[in-house]
Amino acid sequence: MRNLAVVVFFLCCCHTAGEDKPIQTFVIPHSHMDVGWVYTIQESMHAYAANVYTSVTEELSKAADRRFIAVEQEFFRLWWDTVATDAHKKQVRQLVKEGRLEFIIGGQVMHDEAVTDLDDEILQMTEGHGFLYETFGVRPQFSWHVDPFGASATTPVLFALAGFNGHLVSRIDYDLKDSMQKNKKLQFVWRGSPSLKDKQQIFTHTMDQFSYCTPSHLPFSNSSGFYWNGVALFPDPPKNGVYPNMSLPVTKDTVQAYAKTMVENIKQRAAWFRTNHVLWPWGCDKQFYNSSVQFNNMDPLMKYINQNSKEFGVTVQYATVGEYFQAIHQSDLVWEPRGSEDFLPYSTEPHQAWTGFYASRNVLKGVARQASSRLHAAETLFTRYRVSFPDGPVTKDWALDKLKALRWAVSEVQHHDGITGTESPKVADMYLRHLVQAAMGVDELLAALILLPHNLGLPSMLGSRYHKKGVHQPSEQHVIVYNPLAWNITTIVNVTVSFPTAAVFDDDGQPVPAQIQGSAHSNATYDLFIVVELGGLQHRKYLIKFSVKKCSGRKCGRTYDAEGVSFERRNICDWMKTGRRLLPVMNECYTLMFDQDTNLLHSITYLPEKRRVMVTQDFWEYHANGDAKAGPISDNYVFSANGSAVRAYEAVEMEIIPGKIVTEIRQRFYREKSDKDYAYSITTRVPECFGSGPRCHRLEQTYSLGPLRLNTEVVLRTSSSLTNNRTLYTDDNGYQMMERRYRKYTNNTLARNYFPMVRAAYIEDELSRLVLVSDRAHGVSSQADGQLEVMLHRRLWNNVPWNLGYNLTLNDSSVVRPALWMLLGSIAVTSKLYQREAIELQHRPVIMPIDQPQRSWQEKEPRGSSPVRSVVLPPNLHLLSLSIPGWSYSSDHDVHLSRLNSGKDLHSEPDYDRVLLRIMHLFEEGEDPELSKPVTINLKEVLQGIGEVKELEERSLTGTWDISRLQRWKWKTADNVKTNNKRYRRGGDQAFTVTISPKEIRTFFVHFASRSF
């Protein structure tokens, strides 16, 4: 009690002392520059973004007290590479050195926090941080996440791992922010991970109700408020420099009115915080493209306030975010800790739940994740190639350029108005174009890495072949299958072929189990399922021999020819009696029962525990209001249903294709019972168990939806007999699971109980858990007991002038084909499986057809070839990254700064010998009796399949800090927890031994011994 009294006295004294002092105001000049949204990047660069950095650089150089923060690196890098003169670059270097131009966040973009994947958040931060450190020797230490639509608990963990000392958020639920303001709880120490706890805690500042902009409605001026440069003009900036809505200049006649308004706003904000320091963001969207007008008006205004500070009770100064956080840190207060709760979902008012964007632009979300997966595969393969064949024929500069292009495109789309689907159609097309073009370049790289001979002494992957004339032989094709994961896998891949019969052989000439059947999406093609067994980071070649005619005996190899059985279309109006005629589909893990009276799934029995769960899946739709005068509307951002969901179909057809590799169930849903074409479909693949992997737990589903009818939002509803009390669990960015309890609100309860699902969601009761893992982000909810509904697609239009003016109505007429994998079983069993399943769905084997079907070739030499050695991690560790970034900076910070300050030519060749390695522990503390334990591995042994590790340096998450020199700020908390961030590595051979604890992400620079041939 005595200690508590001392703390209370300390806090009271500090608060009283703070009230006696003038309010210290940190005016932070900034420009919120969306990397996309309404205008393309090229349009924004031309209209205003380039001018921001040119004019800011020039204006900061004129007065030593001026400041500016640069946030999104994509625009800055484009300006640096294509616009900035040598004089500008010299000025920028000096401003950065003096701390007057501060890089905040430092990533390529201000990434979204709800629908982004962990891999891509880290990538875009790493891309920006690498550029900043290489170019300026600086490492961002503070965030400025002012515009993402809600705040994830994963983000503060990643920022802490990157070396940040302060985190800043803004968009959280309006009613929660009101409460936090009244109780002065907008600042806290956030422990985003329940496993890492205080080890990666970070001080967090929540912006008040004014967010990142200054008041814009002033009684004596126009609506631009403190933005004297007016409003940016598209497509071209005005030649005379006069922009629309330029505020009245600060003169002797207006300065008092401006000062009165600014001081009143400062004091209003000060009342919501515990210290007498006020962060006053001066800027908003698309500002400071004419910085001279801005500073030439703010300078005299601030001078006037400071001259009258005793009267006003306020002082003002230009500042960076770092200067503000430093003042807060020096206040030495005791802060409340916040656990791993996030700030999702996000609402701005009772009928404005920003939960629609979780499912907006499903195609873009899917392409972005596919591109990310392709990039991961190419990074790992190129790393192996460079270590093994440093002088191989794949040109290293060409290869790195291909990788950099896709890194840029994947990073770019993580913007909070990018992957969210909240951008205009032309911007969505821009993202897709950049992703597809860069992915095509990486596909060229993948082919080159595998097909070209690695050196003159070794044959190519295809070997030396010749065509044997005069002998009639069937057509054949080769495919390469690459496993981009550091686990051994046995799985089934699907190759689309044009022949009805095929036999498959591995690179030793042995027949491979396979199955062929008519395609679900085309009458002209066939699905060829092949069972592949691959070591970690291994690829293998398979030969497919085709025939137009049915084969028999040995010619078929081990390929099963599967044929389907069709069931009569069932209309929902005839569902008088159901459950009378059940049809089983079985594998070693499950028995699925399908109801022939409805053509729907009826139940699933988990065979190892003989536990049956009633499960039905079908499509429902919410109808949205398009007339703003008639009530709340749904749009790109907002979900506001015009009532409960209704069935999206009137009839269902079913076809079952029994197989020896996989049994496929195809369900087609018709809007009207007499429709010829189906509107929706579910294709469920029930695999047989092969090899050592428990892959039969996985029920693979793909869906087809669209084009939708206007103003409909379609969900896949999985209804079960589980008693979950409408509580579900969804992932934060694929990093950790969050409990989502159903809550009742005065208004808009339905939409406010939707949550983002990036990789996984599940419901459970005391006995069982039903899990869905996803290949892209969706919105998910449990609107009734035992239900798990996933919003898969949206098509909307409304007459809100703002939406119409910017073309943000989401009239998305595309056909989407997302994939979900379903698992059912006990909590203990599914806990072991679902995270790995989610990663295997994200990083499926890469299939590369390396020639078109043609007349048979015969090998001069035997097919047998030694596959590359595997790289295998324990099942609870995941190879998050294995890449060659190419940065040329020294790992020694002092050496790097010395080089930057030398004044010599700073251009240098990329470093192709430094490998970036990240390993992540998948499990939470206590999640599994064995898999949740810390894991100790010797990285020299783990990586010996790639080469001989000669040097290992542990780094911060984005690679810019030597972890031994990283000393993050410590913050006093009410529970007085002492943080221990020490990591022990011993000398000698044990220097390569590391222990990775639950939910840790460890980052290393690896140097391999050079090879010569």
Show which residues are catalytic.
Answer: 147
Max Cα–Cα distance, the chain, nearest Å: 103
Look at residues 328, 314, 318 and name the one whose alpha carbon lies nearest to residue 22: 314
CA atoms of 102 and 144, how far apart (whole Å): 12
Residue 267: CA count within 13 A, CB half-sphere: 14
Q: What is the spatial distance between Cα 852 and Cα 353, in angstroms, rounded to a whole number?
A: 50
Distance, first Cα to last Cα, the chain: 73
Q: Which amino acid is at 13?
A: C
Residue 129 near residue 959, CB atoms below 8 Å? yes
How far apart, in whole angstroms, are the C-alpha atoms of residue 326 and residue 322?
Answer: 6
User: How many residues in the chain?
Assistant: 1013
What is the rounded CA–CA span in Å between residue 385 and residue 379?
A: 10
Residue tagged 């902009």 (tokens): 213
Q: How far is Cα 269 from Cα 765, in angstroms, rounded to an integer?
A: 46
Which distant-in-sequence residues (6+ apart) come within 8 Å of 82 by Cβ?
none
Q: Is 467 helix (H, G, I), strand (E, B) or coil?
A: coil
| The pair of three-digit structure tokens given for residue 955, joined into one six-digit string | 């780094």
Residue 696 in tokens: 């039969």
- Write phi, then psi, for 657 (nearest 5 degrees): -115, 95
Nearest to 958 by CA among 881, 899, 872, 844: 881
At 48, the amino acid letter reads: Y
Helix/strand/coil for 885: coil
Residue 920's closest CA among 534, 382, 487?
A: 487
Beta strands 651-657 and 662-670, pairing class: antiparallel
610: left (phi over 0), alpha (psi -120 to 50) or beta: left
For residue 867, what are the contacts with CB-CB under 8 A and spacing of at least 6? 507, 535, 538, 539, 540
Bridge partners for 273 per DSSP:
none
SS3 of residue 582 by DSSP? strand
Rounded-to-integer distance, Cα 604 and Cα 613, Å: 5
Tokens describing residue 680: 């929706």
